[in-house]
Amino acid sequence: MHNHHQQVIAIELQAHGHTPDIDRSLSFEQDADDVAALLHQLHVEKADFMGFGNGGTTCLQIAIRHPALVHKLVLASATYKRSGMPPGFFEGFPNATLANMPQPLQDAYLKASPGNTKGLQAMFNRDVARMVAFKDISDADIKSITAPASVINGDKDVVLPEHAMELSRTLPHAQLNILPGAHGECIGEICSANTALPKLVVSMINTFLK
């Protein structure tokens, strides 16, 4: 898939989309290593990385663990500390069930993997376990990231705007963009309200990546 400026490689990580689950636990570090291995297979030596939510945390781990791969980072609603989420956010996960997962996300998975309700449950279980086990990334690791970064967050996001500001100030070369709206609205995520923001954000990202 191409836009006018660059080739886009969209990655479905372990247990997500068309990628089946395998017998190993998920972590942001593991995902980062998987992405690095994929780019190596594709003979991509350097790339810009964009991640939303957990994808943003994965991008931080790519930049920490595989710095030579990273040209620029676009981090939308990215978390690097548990304190970046509202009070009580992590407490709900141990009792979460598939019924808590937004229907459009369930539908999207089943569209990619028709009839695979076992896979849907496996993805859900992996994602819950990942959040239960989430540990803060140290400030020292964040400060080791030399790539220019664009931090994007909604003012009514799940990720606190204060956390986005903290991330942008801890990263050595970052700009901060706080936009109106809830989680995912600025990029047109499937569960969010339909606004004019994604057009604006795409132009901001293209300007940043130029």
Residue 74: closest CA among 1, 5, 128, 156: 5
Give the count of alpha carbons within 13 A of 15, CB side only. 23
Contact 63, 70 (CB under 8 A): yes
Global model pTM greater than 0.75:
yes
> How much is the average pLDDT of 43-71?
98
E strand segments, the chain: 47-52, 70-76, 149-156, 174-182
Phi, psi of 48 (to 5 degrees): -90, 140
Q: Is the pLDDT of residue 104 over 80?
A: yes
Burial of 22 (0-12, 13-18, 19+ CB in 10 A): exposed
DSSP label at residue 34: H
Under the banding of pLDDT at 50, 70 and 90, the label for residue 1 is very low
Token pair 């967050």 is found at 153
**Percent above pLDDT 90 for the chain:** 94
Measured CA to CA, the distance from residue 120 to residue 85 in angstroms comes to: 25
Measured CA to CA, the distance from residue 182 to residue 208 in angstroms comes to: 23
Domains assigned to the chain: 28-209 (3.40.50.1820)
The whole-number pLDDT of residue 62 equals: 98
